[in-house]
A and B are shown apart, each in its own frame.
Chain A
């Protein structure tokens, strides 16, 4: 005895992509998504090294974005809602100016850190492509 399975009624939208897949000669618009499927990409996507690379990227990118968003929006929030606190004198200037100026150094330092970290990802990415038997990287 079997019960009817619940069905997914969400409509299906067709997909026709137009970026040429690797090493293909046929015009990209004449192919369906299945035809354009690239096996080397599937193979890389399944590699534990690639999954590890994505994990490490996410582990840096997500906290970095949260950090700079919070740090940046703290400035308009503080200046807008606590103007008296931000008018506190700090040396020749005030807290509002020091905080605003610190944003520039925050951006530069974060960019420098990102550059260092991303250089490591470049090396890992190159290793993954080199490990591909067919040498998919063209």
Chain B
């Protein structure tokens, strides 16, 4: 959604104001990092903010962790250019939280400690399961992060034409490393909270300005949406009804595969969110399972309101600006802000977009480094015996440096490529590899190590392979990474890879027996359902 190969944008006024707002946000987050670094010590403080974040705070942080620039700029742009079909993303992003709320959040909080793998290792053979889960976590986090970083570079280039792409990527990378290395989970949480507040207020104000343009009349607004002027390639202009579905996923524009792709996308969103490691670790930052539940509900209120507002600023950009006047799809929301609120509001919305990227990459960095330190270093390499919590924190800090450096490097190398498919890949891996393992280990007594490892491996590999041979990567036009007819017709592999992940996990389980894992099920069930022995919030 964030086009990496951004077409030369029209530089607009207000660059100085934009820069001042960027710097203001950066300064505020650095103060928070300094404050967090001073007050927190110990593994539970570093990895889980001492488990003392309250329900509404964590709700805001989950929303801040989740609503990426791809949501804000990408969906606004998609609705501005393609109308209704862009809104389908908005719906899936919210409904996904029902899976998180009802199926995953509370058992995870009750029975785990720092990572998604904790709940798998509870009753299965810890080393192979943690190694696979850590690999899957790192894959999801790094792919998602590269997409965000490439987007950040392209975005800063558009908003602040004087700043080169490389400098923007290095700046974003350096900031996320500082937040995570020095401030840990506490600083990351507050960066996400501030970002969520900024994003919500920016979108609310933008939506109000759009409705003011239509004299606060819903009827006038939707009348305009039904008659959007669109320039055809042959130079003529027609009016299209943007309320009508089918401009992206219609059978006639996709060789008949669009409707299936739409269902596949929905599956990746609705089942993938509950397997995204950076979202799951947020539930370890609250004191107990009821607070985790409350935080999902807070997040759902915010995320739902935000995605309903995409209607106003997405369709607003389509009607007030019209697609012909938007230089790059991702610029729809900032340009709308410029048209309706002037330079200062443009600067504010740009700074919000920048804050959005920073909060998400910080969340991804901490989830990757926590998983490497806790799952891989302590429990796979050292069998969980020879390390101390201090060593684990130290390894996590080093990992954050390495992950940050690798992401900066890859984001600079990949700047000319369209890497939007990496977001889809992250959701597909989360849904096909992580979710089957999590759900089966919580709810199926017979589930065992062989099933978890096989399910994780098959879900991970099938998602990656299917994306590599899909139209997202293969194609005949110049922008495609591989120049060939795609072998797999769908852009979203979920409809194939999610069932594959589940089937692999179930079949491998049925082929082996693990009496110890079955014997420990009662204990996991008691802990997951009553909160007995759950990790407590730290004192002070």
A27 in the interface (beta carbon within 8 A): yes
Report yes or no: A10 in contact with B511, Cβ–Cβ below 8 A: yes
Report yes or no: A118 in contact with B532, Cβ–Cβ below 8 A: no
Q: How far is the CA of A27 from the CA of B379 in the complex (A)?
A: 12
Report yes or no: B262 in contact with A80, Cβ–Cβ below 8 A: yes
Q: How far is the CA of A57 from the CA of B443 in the complex (A)?
A: 12
Contact of B243 (CB < 8 Å), options: A11, A97, A118, A119: A97
Report yes or no: A29 in contact with B385, Cβ–Cβ below 8 A: yes
Give the one of B218, B266, B307, B511 with max A CB within 10 A. Answer: B266
Report yes or no: B379 in contact with A33, Cβ–Cβ below 8 A: no
Measured between beta carbons, the chain B residues less than 8 angstroms from A37 are 519-520, 523
B165 in the interface (beta carbon within 8 A): no
Using C-beta atoms within 8 Å of the partner chain, give the interface range for chain B.
35 or more
**Contacts known (A15-B449, A15-B517, A96-B245); A104 close to B307, Cβ less than 8 A:** yes
Measured between beta carbons, the chain A residues less than 8 angstroms from B526 are 41, 44-45, 50
17 A-B residue pairs with CB within 8 Å: A12-B515, A13-B450, A14-B516, A17-B126, A22-B532, A28-B384, A29-B385, A33-B516, A64-B98, A75-B266, A79-B262, A80-B249, A80-B251, A97-B84, A110-B98, A114-B101, A129-B532
**Contacts known (A80-B262, A87-B244, A94-B243); A19 close to B101, Cβ less than 8 A:** no
15 further A-B pairs in the complex, CB-CB below 8 A; given A83-B246, A107-B94, A136-B533: A14-B514, A17-B123, A33-B520, A41-B526, A44-B530, A76-B88, A80-B249, A83-B244, A104-B91, A107-B95, A107-B304, A108-B301, A118-B290, A122-B290, A125-B531
B interface residues with partner A (beta carbon < 8 Å): 84, 87-88, 90-92, 94-95, 97-99, 101-103, 106, 111-113, 118, 121-127, 218-219, 221-223, 243-246, 249-251, 258-260, 262-263, 265-266, 270, 290, 293-294, 296-297, 300-301, 304, 307-308, 379, 383-385, 448-450, 511-517, 519-520, 522-523, 525-527, 529-533
Quick one: CB contact mask for A88-131 with B, threshold 8 Å, 1 for yes? 00001110110011011011101110110011011001101100
Q: How far is the CA of A107 from the CA of B99 in the complex (A)?
A: 10
Q: How far is the CA of A54 from the CA of B520 in the complex (A)?
A: 17
Contact of A76 (CB < 8 Å), options: B98, B103, B266, B523: B266
Report yes or no: B263 in contact with A73, Cβ–Cβ below 8 A: yes
**Contacts known (A28-B384, A114-B101); A12 close to B270, Cβ less than 8 A:** no
Report yes or no: B522 in contact with A10, Cβ–Cβ below 8 A: no
Measured between beta carbons, the chain B residues less than 8 angstroms from A10 are 511-513
A103, chain B: closest CB distance, angstroms: 5
Report yes or no: B126 in contact with A16, Cβ–Cβ below 8 A: yes
Report yes or no: A68 in contact with B98, Cβ–Cβ below 8 A: yes
A138, chain B: closest CB distance, angstroms: 6
**Contacts known (A40-B532, A86-B245, A94-B244); A61 close to B263, Cβ less than 8 A:** no
Report yes or no: A18 in contact with B384, Cβ–Cβ below 8 A: yes
Q: How far is the CA of A106 from the CA of B300 in the complex (A)?
A: 12
Measured between beta carbons, the chain A residues less than 8 angstroms from B244 are 83, 87, 94, 96
